[in-house]
Amino acid sequence: MTFDYDLFVIGAGPGGLAAAKKAASYGARVAVAEQEAIGGTCVNRGCVPKKLIVYAADFALRDRIVHNYGWNQCQRHFDWTIFMKSVHQHVEHINDSYCEQLQKAGIELIWERATFVDAHTLDLDGRKVTADKVLISVGGKPNKPKIPGIEYAITSREMFHLPYLPKRLVIIGGGYIGTEFSSMMHALGCDVTAIEVDEMILSGFDDDVRSGVQQSLSKRGIRFIFNNTVEKITLSEDSLLLTTTGKSQKPIAADTILVAIGYSPNTKNLGLEKAGIELDEQGAIKVDEYCCTTQENIFAVGDCINRIQLTPTAKAEGIAFANTVFGNKPQKLNYDHVPSAVFSRPEAASVGMTEAKAREKFGESVQCYRTNFQPLLYALTTEEQPNMMKLVVDSASGQVLGAHMVGEHAADIIQSLGVAIRKGITKEDLDDTIGIHPTIAEECLS
């Protein structure tokens, strides 16, 4: 049978784009369908605009210590509207760059929603196309609890389109998205309250990372309410009111409510059943170790499968898929040493096993090395900005199982350590390495 395309990609997020370009480099005829902006969540309503807000907030935090370095204090005003205009312009520039890359690679970009007719046929608003192989890269969508008044709350999608900074922001959820927005919006002048169902923020991270970030944010004035869920949201004359399950019966007032309780696979209404594609209990597409679905010619990568919801992971999955299917180089990913970061202030990052996970596997053989230190930047100030570095080690072999950090440049430092840990570095190897002084990174060698 002759097909219109060798590969048809549904979704122009990081995984889909990486797969399309790699497959095209092997000579495949490729098309990509996207119904929203190219680049997916990360570029348009996630990592990129969020990190730019982090940078904007950093100026506010630095203002508190500039006089210690001889700079005269002066009054400055932050204009949210002007700033967000610059953010959106930068995002548009990235969108245009992606379009140019696809064009140069000979990849057809189709601005339509694609749904399955059968395993090899897709419907594009009434037009049928066929493909030998299909890759699903449709990402995820923010979750919202099913409670009365939830229509008054927004998700991270809408945060980047707020017309003004809210005076009172309540964030439902203490994961990395909720924590990052808590940090940066408070620095920009919002009164922030975060509500979390757990006893600490950042579930899944090492406990020392969780407590370190939480304590620092609390000292800055961010209010945390733990072991709590929101029961309902009501609209009053001058605010939104949240009623929680906690001991206090007094409603929490807010101007804006952000729901940040995670993402679900965006797999509804794609006609997956027509193509014989099965989902798991969470609605994620079932795939094998090569990202192949229950239909042998259809694959899936990124947030729509039940692996790790991170942009670099989706890219790696997309490239591995193309290498396997079009490059005749079978490749499967190892998810054991995927680094992750929280771009709050203080910043946090981890790679490898947490202490708890390591003890589950290695028991009493686990030994942890932890150091707390004050960055040189704050030596001239009265502010306390404790940094923490922690190594989880198997004492029997000396191998470093995990590294965790809270503080400046945590993401960059852990990224570098990730390579070493993946290659089996030992604690002795780190001890024998000479560091650069004075830097924060040298603390992992002490």
The structure's pTM equals 0.96
Predicted confidence at residue 413, as pLDDT, reads 97
Indicate if the pLDDT at residue 13 is higher than 80.
yes
Residue 249 has pLDDT above 80, yes or no: no
pLDDT tens, residue by residue, 377-396: 999 998 888 899 999 999 99
Residues in binding site for FAD: 51, 303
Preceding omega of 346 cis (within 30 degrees of 0): yes
pLDDT, one tens digit per residue, over 306-355 is: 899 999 999 999 999 999 999 999 999 999 999 999 999 999 999 999 99
What are the tens digits of pLDDT across the range 168-187? 999 999 999 999 999 999 99
Instruction: Detail the residues annotated as belonging to a binding site for NAD(+).
Output: 173-180, 196, 262
Closest C-alpha among 319, 392, 324, 383 to residue 358: 392
Q: How far apart are CA 278 and CA 419, in angstroms?
A: 35
pLDDT of residue 1: 75
Tell me, what's the pLDDT at 399? 98
pLDDT in tens, 251-261: 999 999 999 99
Residue labelled with tokens 């961010």: 222
Rounded to 5 degrees, what are φ and ψ at 117?
A: -100, -45
One-letter amino acid of 101 = Q
- Place 445 in a pLDDT band, splitting at 50, 70 and 90: confident
Region of 261 please: left (phi>0), alpha (psi -120 to 50) or beta: alpha
Average pLDDT on 248-253 reads 86
In angstroms, the CA 5 to CA 134 distance is 9
- Span 28-87, pLDDT tens digits: 999 999 999 999 999 999 999 999 999 999 999 999 899 999 999 788 899 999 999 999
Residue 248 pLDDT > 80, yes or no?
Answer: no
Please say whether the dihedral angle defined by the alpha carbons of residues 178, 184, 187 and 189, taken in this order, is positive or negative. negative
What average pLDDT does the segment 245-253 reach?
84
Handedness of CA 431, 437, 441, 446 (dihedral sign): positive
Ramachandran angles phi, psi of 289, nearest 5°: -70, -15
* CA-angle at 180, arms to 280 and 338, nearest 5°: 50
- Span 428-436, mean pLDDT? 95
Handedness of CA 27, 28, 29, 31 (dihedral sign): negative
Q: What is the rounded average pLDDT of the residues 137-164? A: 96
Residue 437 annotated among the catalytic residues of the structure: yes
Distance CA 88, CA 173 (A): 26
Residue 25: count of CB within 10 angstroms of its CB = 14
Q: How confident is the model at residue 4, as a pLDDT?
A: 98
pLDDT value at residue 74: 82
Q: How far apart are CA 214 and CA 246, in angstroms?
A: 20
Tell me the CA distances in angstroms from 289 to 298, 305, 307, 350, one per residue in order.
14, 11, 11, 24
3-state SS assignment for residue 122: strand
Q: What is the mean pLDDT of residues 189-204?
A: 97
Query: What does the pLDDT read at residue 438?
Result: 94
**Mean of the pLDDT values across residues 18-23?**
98
Q: Measure the CA–CA gap between 344 and 213, rounded to whole angstroms.
A: 8
pLDDT of residue 78: 95
Res 134: pLDDT: 98
pLDDT in tens, 207-245: 999 999 999 999 999 999 999 999 999 999 999 999 999
Tokens of 232: 């309902």
Binding-site positions read 51, 173-180, 196, 262, 303
Question: Do 322 and 23 meet the contact criterion of CB atoms below 8 Å apart?
Answer: yes
Contacts of 210 (CB under 8 A, 6+ apart): 200, 201, 202, 203
In the chain, what are the domains? 5-141+264-325 (3.50.50.60), 150-261 (3.50.50.60), 346-445 (3.30.390.30)
Mean pLDDT over 359-370 rounds to 97
Residue 62's CB is within 10 A of a number of other CB atoms, namely 13
Output DSSP code: residue 438.
T
As given in the structure block, the two tokens for residue 90 are 């930068």
Whether pLDDT at 247 is above 80: no
* Cβ pair 407, 396 in contact under 8 A: no
| Selected catalytic residue, list 77, 90, 337, 437 | 437
Residue 250: per-residue pLDDT: 87
Average per-residue pLDDT in the chain? 96
CA separation for the pair 60, 77 (Å, rounded): 10
* CA neighbor of 314 nearest in space, from 6, 22, 54: 22
What are the b/e assignments for 194-211, b being 16+ CB within 10 Å? bbbeeebbbeebbebbbb
Query: Can you give the pLDDT at residue 189?
Result: 96
